[in-house]
Chains A and B, each alone.
Chain A
Amino acid sequence: MSYHSFLLEPISCHAWNKDRTQIALCPNNHEVHIYKKDGSNWNKIHVLKEHNGQVTGIDWAPESNRIVTCGTDRNAYVWTLKGDAWKPTLVILRINRAARCVKWSPKENKFAVGSGSRLISVCYFEQDNDWWVCKHIKKPIRSTILCLDWHPNNVLLAAGSCDFKCRIFSAYIKEVEEKPAPTAWGSKMPFGEVMFESTGTAGWVHGVCFSDSGNRVAWASHDSTVAVAEGGKTAVCASLTSETLPLLCVTFITENSLVAAGHDCYPVLFVYDSNKAALSFGGKLDIPKQSAQKGMSARERFQNLDKKATTDSKEAVLESVHKNSISQISILNGGKAQCAKFCTTGMDGGMTIWDVKTLESAMKDLKIV
C-alpha cells in the first residue's frame, strides 16, 4: 500500500478519473484541486474555483468525463473539460441548506445530491432547455442526508440519513429512461417511492453502499455498527456491533466482503454470510510499522507512572497509516465485484492506496470471500 500526504488539512472529499491517473479533491476550502500522477509524484494541474462554500462532495463520471461538485453554498456545478480547462455549469438544486454528498448514476445521465434540507435532489439534463433540472425526494426523510449510492439499474438510490435510517428510494425519471425491470427490492418504482427502510440500528448513517449486483445494501452507523440488508428477504438485517469507534465509510469489495473505515484510522474487513444472514468481523486491514522497541529506563517508567498512571511503554502515537479519521473510501480497480485496489482519504490530508492481494498475503487469517 502506498501513502501520499497531500495536505496538512483534511481532505473533504475526493474522486478519481476513469484511468485512475488523476484525482480531484477538496482541500477543506472552497476549491477543487486536480492532481495528476507523474511517476511517483502528484502534480496539481487544475484548480476549480467556483463554489462559495466548502466543497462537500465530488464525483467524476468515468465515461462522460464530467465532474459534479456540491458544496455548503447550496449549489452544485457540473464541470466539463473544454480543451485544457474545466468549465462549470450551475445546477439549481432548490435547497435552502448545505449540500452534503453527490453521486453520478451508473449511466451518468442523472446525479443525486443529498442535503441538509432533509431532501435528495435528483438532477437530469433537459435537452430542450439546455439546463439541468432537479426533482426532489422529500418524504419520509426527517433529517440531513449524509451519504448516497446508486443501484446498478440506474433507478434505485440508497440514502443514509441523520434520522437514523438507511432507505432505498426510487429515482426513476421518465424523461431520461425506460421503466425499470423488477428488482429484489420491489417491482413498482414510481419516483420517490421508499423501497426499503432500515430498522434496528441507531445512530446517524455515515456511509451506505450497494453491492455489485445491487441485491445487498450495507451501511455504517454512528453507534459503531455495520449492517447489511438483502433485497427480497425483508426484515432481516444482519448487523454487527463493533468494539471500535464509529465507521464513516463502507464499500463492498466482493459480493460478500465489505471494507469499512472511520474514526479508528484503519480499514476493517467484514464478511457477510448470506445463508446465516450474519455479518462477521474479518480483520483489521493495516500493517503497522514495526517500531523499534526501546527499553525504558527506571526514571522513564516512574515519569510515566506519575504523568499517565501507567507503566506501559506504548507511545501515544497511532500505529496506523492514516493519522486521523478516514472519511472516504473509493474503489480503484476491479469494481465492487472483485476489487483489487481501493483508496482511502482522511482528515490527516493523506491518501492511501491499498492493494487487496498484498493485504491478503500479509495477513494470514484474512479471507476475502
Chain B
Amino acid sequence: MSKNTVSDRFRKVDVDEYDENKFVDEEDGGENQLGPDEAEVDSLIRSGNLMGALQAVLKNPPINTKNQNVKERAEGLVLKVLSSFKTSDIEKAVQSLDKTGVDLLMKYIYRGFEKPSDNSSAILLQWHEKALSAGGVGSIVRVLTARKTV
C-alpha cells in the first residue's frame, strides 16, 4: 500500500490559484472611491428632501474599491434612503433617474436582497418592481454580468 493514504491535505489545495492562465480582472484605481457622502445624505433625509437624498446616495458608488467596509456602508446608506420613501413616491423617484442611475439602483437592490433584514425585502421588492419597469430586463442582466459591482 502507498504510504500516502493517511494525509488528505492535498484535497484542500485550491488548484485554480496555481493555474498560470487564470483570468485576473484588470486593476482599476479604486482607492479613492469612498462611497456616497454620509453627512450630506443624512441631512437631506432629515430635511425631507428625499429625491435629493436619492440622487446624493447614488453618487460615488464604491464599484472599483476592494474595501468591503466601504461597500457595506454604502449599501446601508442606500437602504436607509430607500426605506424612508413613501410607497406612492417610489415611481416618481425612479423616473427621475437616468439609465446609469437605474442600473446602479438595481445593483444596490440586489445587494440588499443578499442580506435581508426585518422589513428590507418588502421595501426592496417595491423598488425592484418600479426599477424593472424603467430599466427593463437589461438592467438585471447588467447586475448579473458586472465584474465590479457595489
Contacts and interface: CB of A to CB of B under 8 A. Distances in A.
Contacts of B138: 224, 241-245
A203 B144 CA distance: 9
A202 B147 contact: yes
A118 interface: yes
B21 A223 contact: no
Nearest to A203: B145
B145 A223 contact: yes
Interface string B68-98: 0000000000000000000000000000000
A164 B135 contact: no
A222 interface: yes
B66 interface: no
B142 A244 contact: no
A266 to B, nearest CB: 14
B139 A243 contact: yes
Contacts of B137: 224, 243-245
B142 A243 contact: no
Nearest to B135: A243
A164 B136 CA distance: 22
B146 A202 contact: yes
A241 B103 contact: yes
Interface string B118-150: 000000000000000001111101100111000
A243 B147 CA distance: 19
B81 to A, nearest CB: 24
A224 B21 CA distance: 27
- At the interface, is chain B mostly helix, strand, loop or mixed? helix
Contacts of B103: 241
A142 interface: yes
Interface in A84-123: 118
Nearest to A264: B137
B59 interface: no
Contacts of B146: 202, 223
A246 interface: yes
A163 interface: yes
A28 interface: no
A225 B136 CA distance: 13
B62 to A, nearest CB: 17
Contacts of A203: 141-142, 145
Contacts of A242: 136, 138
A164 B142 CA distance: 13
A29 interface: no
B10 interface: no
Contacts of A118: 21
Interface of A: 118, 142-143, 163-164, 202-203, 222-225, 241-246
B56 to A, nearest CB: 23
B18 interface: no
Interface string B10-45: 000000000001010000000000000000000000
A241 B142 contact: yes
Of the candidates A118, A143, A224, the one having the most CB atoms from chain B within 10 angstroms of its own CB is: A224
A225 B21 CA distance: 28
Contact of B142 (A143, A163, A224): A224
A223 B141 CA distance: 6
A10 to B, nearest CB: 21
Given A142-B21, A225-B142, A244-B137, 11 more contacts: A118-B21, A202-B145, A223-B142, A223-B145, A223-B146, A224-B138, A241-B99, A241-B139, A241-B142, A243-B135, A246-B141
13 contacts: A202-B142, A202-B145, A203-B142, A223-B141, A225-B142, A241-B139, A242-B136, A242-B138, A243-B135, A243-B136, A244-B136, A244-B137, A245-B141
Contacts of A244: 136-138
Contacts of A246: 141
Given A241-B142, A243-B139, A246-B141, A143 B23 contact: yes
A324 to B, nearest CB: 16
A21 to B, nearest CB: 39
Nearest to A247: B138
Nearest to B144: A223
A164 B23 CA distance: 11
A246 B145 CA distance: 11
Contacts of A223: 141-142, 145-146
B105 to A, nearest CB: 14
Contacts of A164: 147
Nearest to A246: B141
